[in-house]
């Protein structure tokens, strides 16, 4: 089927292409000869194009277009170089920022470790102070307890001594003791 279609189409084009050639009859340099008329029209067309300097204009337009393309390429190249410079600058800045961030993190870790050590030392001092205060309170409480026990012992001993003396003392001994006490008070007051 493909071959049949190709034959039909090529036959049609062959008839169309052959028909103008068959129309040219008679001498070549006659206005009745279509080939000669077409040749004159073509030469006149080329002459008009040359008279109006169309090839120069087309050449100039092509040169302008080539210059425009060259300028665009140069501009694109310059923009690319600028973009590469900016990219390198940003990459350099990124590395600097990364280094600064690492330095900040390192510094922060060192500060945190230092602060932890200081807090630990302060905590130890605080604990030592509280232990000393607690020991002072314990010693004070012991001293107070000892005083209280001593005072209680003295009170009990005085009471016991008073009971023993009261049982052993006679009225005459009591009067003698009172007189001696009065005499001692007089000596001390004067």
Domain boundaries, the chain: 53-189
Separation between Cα atoms, residue 165 and residue 158, nearest integer Å: 10
Provide DSSP, 99-144. HHHHHHHHHHHHHHHHHHHHHHHHHHHHHHHHHHHHHHHHHHHHHH
Which of 4-13, 81-90, 131-140 is the most confident on average?
Answer: 81-90
Task: Provide the pLDDT confidence category of residue 86 given band limits of 50, 70 and 90.
Answer: very high
Separation between Cα atoms, residue 33 and residue 25, nearest integer Å: 6
Which of 4-8, 30-34, 57-61, 153-157 is the most confident on average?
Answer: 57-61
Are 33 and 24 in contact by the 8 Å Cβ rule? The answer is yes
Over residues 136-162, the mean pLDDT reads: 84
pLDDT at 80 over 80: yes
* Higher local confidence (pLDDT), 158 or 140: 140
Task: Provide the pLDDT confidence category of residue 148 given band limits of 50, 70 and 90.
Answer: confident
Look at residues 6, 39, 12 and name the one whose alpha carbon lies nearest to residue 24. Answer: 39
pLDDT at 152 over 90: no
Token pair in block for residue 183: 């005499």
Over residues 66-93, the mean pLDDT reads: 95
Are 32 and 26 in contact by the 8 Å Cβ rule? The answer is yes
* Confidence (pLDDT) at 145: 86
What residues contact residue 55 under an 8 Å CB cut-off, 6+ apart? 49
């Amino acid at each position: 089927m493909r071959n049949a279609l190709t034959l039909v189409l090529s036959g049609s084009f062959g008839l169309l292409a052959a028909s103008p050639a068959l129309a040219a009859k008679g001498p070549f340099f006659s206005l009745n000869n279509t080939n000669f008329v077409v040749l004159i029209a073509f030469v006149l067309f080329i002459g008009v194009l040359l008279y109006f300097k169309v090839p120069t204009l087309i050449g100039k337009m092509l040169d302008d277009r080539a210059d425009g393309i060259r300028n665009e390429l140069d501009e694109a190249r310059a923009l690319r170089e600028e973009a590469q410079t900016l990219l390198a600058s940003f990459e350099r800045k990124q590395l600097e920022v990364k280094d600064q961030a690492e330095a900040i993190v390192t510094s922060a870790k060192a500060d945190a470790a230092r602060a932890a050590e200081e807090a630990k030392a302060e905590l130890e001092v605080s604990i030592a102070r509280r232990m000393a205060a607690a020991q002072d309170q314990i010693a004070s409480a012991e001293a107070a307890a000892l005083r209280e026990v001593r005072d209680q012992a003295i009170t009990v001993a005085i009471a016991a001594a008073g009971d023993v003396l009261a049982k052993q003392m006679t009225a005459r001994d009591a009067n003698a003791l009172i007189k001696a006490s009065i005499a001692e008070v007089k000596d001390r007051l004067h």
